[in-house]
Structure 1
Amino acid sequence: MNSNIDRISNLPSSLLVIIASFLPFKEAARTSVLSKQWLNIWRDAMHIQFNENFVKSDEPEENRKVQRDVFINFARQFIANYSQQVIKTLGLACSKPGDFLSDIQNILMFASSRDVRELGLDFSDPTWRELALENHQAAFELPLLVYEHGQVLRSLKLFSCSFKVSNFSNFCALKTLSLGWIKINMGSISAILDSCPLLENLSLKKCWDIENFEISKPGSRLKSLVLEKCDIAYDGVLIEGPKLQFFKFSGNVGEFLLKNQSDLVKAELDFEMETEFDEIGLFLYNLLQDLFAAQVLTVCSVFLQIVPSGDEPLGLQAPIDVRHLILKTALHINEFCGIKFMLRSCPHLEILTIDIVPANILPDYGAPYPFNPHGFWSKDLMAEECVTSTLKAVNVKGFTGMMNELQVLRYLLHSGHAMEELNLYVSGEGGSNGETRGFYMGRAQQVLQFKKASRNLNIAVL
C-alpha cells in the first residue's frame, strides 16, 4: 500500500468543509494551497474571523485607510459568495467602524441570517494602551437586529461597543459574555446577570465606572470570572453566591472577599500595575486564603514581593491545596521571601513552573525579615515540606542561567527527593551583553552537574 496517498483530499467536499470548519479562519484559508480540491473549501468554513490586524498602526493614516478598504472589501466579497446556510462563529475586529457602518450592518445581517451561535465584535483601537488612565468612548452601538437574534446566541463579545442593558433579556441562552473598553457600572452588570440566567463565563477587560465589584447572586451558574485591568474605584471585589471554577484578576491590589469558593480549580493573579508596597500585604494574604481550593495558581512578581508583608511572613496559617504553582517572576532578590512563602503555603505542590519574565520591581520594597540574599537558597537551610516530599516536576521557561536561577535550581535539586522532571526551556531572546541562545544552552549544562536528591530525575534542556 502506498503510504503517500493523500486520503483526506480524496474525501467528498462536504466532509472537507467540516474538517476546515474545525480550523481557525486564517488556517482554513491556508488550505487553499494544498490542491485544486481544497482551493475554495475554506470559503464555506463555519468559523469566520474578519480581523483587520494586518493594518499597520505605524504607517500614515492614508495608507491605513487603503488597507482598511481592502479588508472591508474582502469581507464584502466573502459574505456575497458564501453558500452555507449555518455558521457557528463570526468575529469582526475593525477599529474605525464609523467609516463602514453599512458594511458592518450587512455583516451582522449575514451572521443573523446564518443563525450564528458565537458573535464577537471588537471595535477597539490597537493603539489604545491598556495601562493608560484615559478612557475611550465606545466606537459603535449594537444594532437592534443583534438583540432580535439574541435567543440563538451562546457567546457574545463586545469591545468598544455600547449596548442597551434592558435588551439583554433577549440573550436568555447566553453562556459566555466578554465586555471590554466600555463604561459600565455595577448596577448594569447585576442587571445583565439577572437577564442571562444561563451565563457561565463573564469577562470584563478595561471597563470603567465600576465602584465596587460585587456578585452575590444566589443560585448563579457563573463558573468563570475574569477582571482584567478594569477601573474599580475603591478596588473592592466581593464574590458570594456563584461557585467559581476559574478566577482571573489583573489590576491594582485591593480588598478581596471570595466566600465559599470550594469548587475553584484555577486562579490567576496579576498585580503588575501596582506601584505601592506599604500596608497592602494583608489584602493579598486574605485573598490567597480565600483561594484555598485552587489546584492551579498563577501569581506575579508584585504578588511575590508584597504577600509576605501580610499577617504571617513565613507562610499561610492554613495551607492551601495548590498542586501546580506558576510563578511569573524575574527571580529578583525582592521576590525571594515571596517564593519561599508560596512554597511553604503549598504543602501538596506537585508541579512548579518558573516563568522568567520582566517584572515590576517595587522601589519602596521592604523585606519582611532580615536575610542574606547570597545564602538564601543555601542547601544547609531547612527545605519546605513540598520540596522534599511532593514536588515531582519543575519547569523553567525563559532560562538564561543567571546566578539567581542557578541558585534556585541547585536548592530544588538538592532537596527534591520526589522530583521526576526538570525541564529547562532556554530563552530564545538575546541578552543585553550579547548573549545568545547557544550561550544560554551552555549555562544549562551546568545544571546537569548539580547534586541531585532524586534518583529518578530526568533533566531536559529544550
Structure 2
Amino acid sequence: MDHFSYLPEAVILIIVSFLPFRDAVRTSVLSRRWRHFWTATGDVDLHQSYFFVTNGSDSQTMDYMHFMQRWMQNFRAPQMRRFRVVFSGSVISPGSDMQRCVEFFSGNIRRETREVHLDFSDPSWELHGIDHKPQTIIQLPFFRPHATLGSLHLSACRFDFLRCDTFAALKNVYLGWIEVPGYTLNRFVAMCPSLEDLRLKRCWNVSEMMIGAQRLKVLVIDKCMEPESISIDAPLLNTFKYYGLCTYVGMDYHRNMEEAVFDFGVQSEVSDQGDGQMLYNLLLEIFSVRVLTICSYMLQVLPMCEEPLSLESKLKNMRHLILKTQLHMNEYYGISFFLESCPHLELLEIHLGARRIFPDYEPPFKFEEHPFLIRDERHRRNYRCLKRTLKTVKVKGFKGTDDEIVVLRYLLKFGLVLENLFVHLSKEKGANGVDMEATYIENLRRLIQLGTSSPCLQVYTNYNQDD
C-alpha cells in the first residue's frame, strides 16, 4: 500500500523540500500528482553535469536551458536554503536565459539562504598562462546579504562587494576567475567578521593584499595575477597555501599554523637577489607547521640567503615534508636545508617532475662538497632526522635517472630507522610511445641493490598511482 497517497499535499511538499534537488526532481515521474512537487524544494542545484559532462552538444545545452526555464516558471518554495548553478562551455550574453536565472535568484533570495554557489568558469582556461584574463560572462545583481548566508562561491561573474554593509555569518568564501582589486578584497574581508575559509583562484588586479581576519583558519591563494605583496593578520590561521609568482608575504608568527604550501612553479626567473632572504624570513614566521610543501624554486633560491644551512630556530614541529622537485644538482643545497632544519621529520614525500632549473644558480659551496656527492663516507654529513625519526619516504614519478639515484641512494644509505619506501612509477612513455614500466622497475631494483642501512625497510610500488 502506498502510504504517501494518503498524505495531504502540504505534508508531501514539506518532505520533498528537504530532499536534495536531483532527488526531488526525480519524484516528478512517480505519478501525475507528484509532477510539480519538486518545485517546492529549497535546495536548488542547477549543475550542468546532470545533463552533460562538459562541452555538451547544442541539443543538450538547449535541454538544460529549457529545464532551467521550467524551474523558474514553477518555483514555489517558501525557502531557498541553497542555490547552485554550474555552467560552462559557451559565452553567455547579457540578456540570456542564464542571466535571467541569476537575476531571478537574486530577487528570490530569502533570509533562510545559507549557501550561494555560482560557477561559470571554463576548464579550458586552466591551460592558459597566469596572465590570462577570461571574459567575465555573468553580472551578478546586487542582493542584500542576509544574516544566515554562510557560504559564497563566485567564479567568472561580477559582483559589487562595496555596495554591501556586512556579511555577518559568512564563513566560507571562494572567488575565482574574477577581477578583485586589492582595496575591494581588503574591505570585503573586513565586512566578514565570521570568515574562516578564504580561497582565491586566478583573480586579477589584486595588487596589495592586506587580509585581516581574526577568525580566519584557511587561506588559499592560487595563481592570482601579480600581487605586489600579501600581508596577513590572522592569529588563528591553521592552513596557508600559495601558488603563483614569488612575491612578498608578510605574516606574524603563527603558533596555530599546521600546514603550509609554497609553490612558485610559474616563476620563470629569479626575480630578485633578495628572494632567498625573504623566503628564509617567511619560514621563521611559520616554524610551528607540521606539514610543509616546497617547490623547486624555493629549493634553488633559499640557499642564497645569508645563513643557508639551517634555520636559526629549527622547524621542530615538522613531521611531514613534501618536495616538488626534479632532484637536480641545483636543488641539493635546498634539500639539505630542510633535512637539517627538520630534526623530527617522520614522512618525506618527493614529487618528481620536470621543473624550471635556473642556469645562473650559484651554490653556497662547491657541489663536490655536498653530502649527496662526497665519495668518502667518513666525511659525509648525516642529518638528525635520518638517524632518529624519518620512517617513511614516498616517491612519485620515479624513473630511476642518475639524479634520482644519487639522492635516493643517500636516503637509503643513511636512513637508519627507515621502515617504508613507497615508489609510484612514472607513467611517462619513452620514444615513439614505448612503455617504460619495466625499465623503471629495473632501475628501482638496482637502487635497492646498492644497499640500505635500515634492517626493517619494506619497499612498495604502486603502478597506477597518479604522479
Pair in the same fold by TM > 0.5: yes
1:4 corresponds to = none
1:125 corresponds to = 122
2:221 corresponds to = 227
Cα separation, partners in 2 of 1:461 and 1:47, compared to 1, 3 Å? farther
Q: Sequence identity of aligned pairs in percent? A: 34
Alignment TM-score, normalising by the size of structure 1: 0.80
TM-aligned CA deviation for residue 284 of structure 1: 1.2
> Is this contact kept in 2: 1:90–1:116, CA < 8 A?
no
Alignment TM-score, normalising by the size of structure 2: 0.79
1:329 corresponds to = 325
Q: Looking at CA atoms only, which structure, 1 or 2, has the larger radius of gyration? A: 2
Distance 2:208 2:459 in 1: 47
Aligned 1:291-370 pairs, distance under 5 A: 291-320=286-315, 321-370=317-366
Per-residue CA deviation, residues 135-189 of structure 1 (Å, 9 max, x unaligned), is 3453212224xx3464332211111211122344353211011112222223222
Distance 1:232 1:103 in 2: 34
Using the TM superposition, name which of 46-55 and 243-252 deviates more.
46-55
Cα separation, partners in 2 of 1:437 and 1:323, compared to 1, 3 Å? same
TM-aligned CA deviation for residue 374 of structure 1: 9.7
2:13 corresponds to = none
Using the TM superposition, name which of 449-458 and 79-88 deviates more.
79-88
Per-residue CA deviation, residues 68-112 of structure 1 (Å, 9 max, x unaligned), is 334434555678899997765734233533243355337736994
Cα separation, partners in 2 of 1:81 and 1:100, compared to 1, 3 Å? closer
1:425 corresponds to = 424
Aligned 1:40-439 pairs, distance under 5 A: 48=45, 50-51=47-48, 54-56=53-55, 65-73=58-66, 75=68, 90-94=84-88, 95-98=90-93, 99-101=96-98, 104-105=101-102, 108=105, 112=109, 117-128=114-125, 129-144=127-142, 147-148=143-144, 150-169=146-165, 171-216=167-212, 220-233=214-227, 235-277=228-270, 278-279=272-273, 280-320=275-315, 321-372=317-368, 376-378=372-374, 380=377, 381-432=380-431, 434-439=434-439
* Paired amino acid for 1:119: V
Name the SS for the 2:368 alignment partner. Answer: coil
Distance 1:237 1:112 in 2: 34
1:6 corresponds to = none
TM-aligned CA deviation for residue 352 of structure 1: 0.2
Cα separation, partners in 2 of 1:450 and 1:73, compared to 1, 3 Å? farther
Cα separation, partners in 2 of 1:438 and 1:91, compared to 1, 3 Å? farther
Per-residue CA deviation, residues 306-353 of structure 1 (Å, 9 max, x unaligned), is 111112222222211321000111222221221111111111111000
TM-aligned CA deviation for residue 242 of structure 1: 3.4
Per-residue CA deviation, residues 335-391 of structure 1 (Å, 9 max, x unaligned), is 122111111111111100001122122233232321139973457211211112111
* Paired amino acid for 1:457: L
Cα separation, partners in 2 of 1:266 and 1:86, compared to 1, 3 Å? same
Distance 1:451 1:428 in 2: 26
Unpaired segments of 5 or more residues in structure 2? 1-15, 463-467
TM-aligned CA deviation for residue 456 of structure 1: 2.4
Distance 1:425 1:272 in 2: 22
Cα separation, partners in 2 of 1:198 and 1:216, compared to 1, 3 Å? closer
1:9 corresponds to = none
Distance 1:47 1:324 in 2: 40
> Is 1:451 paired with 2:447?
no
Distance 1:447 1:74 in 2: 59
TM-aligned CA deviation for residue 294 of structure 1: 0.9
Cα separation, partners in 2 of 1:461 and 1:70, compared to 1, 3 Å? same
> Is this contact kept in 1: 2:325–2:353, CA < 8 A?
yes
Distance 2:232 2:437 in 1: 45
TM-aligned CA deviation for residue 203 of structure 1: 1.4
Distance 1:413 1:124 in 2: 46
Cα separation, partners in 2 of 1:189 and 1:378, compared to 1, 3 Å? same
1:13 corresponds to = none
Name the SS for the 1:157 alignment partner. Answer: strand
Aligned 1:13-52 pairs, distance under 5 A: 48=45, 50-51=47-48
Distance 1:392 1:191 in 2: 46
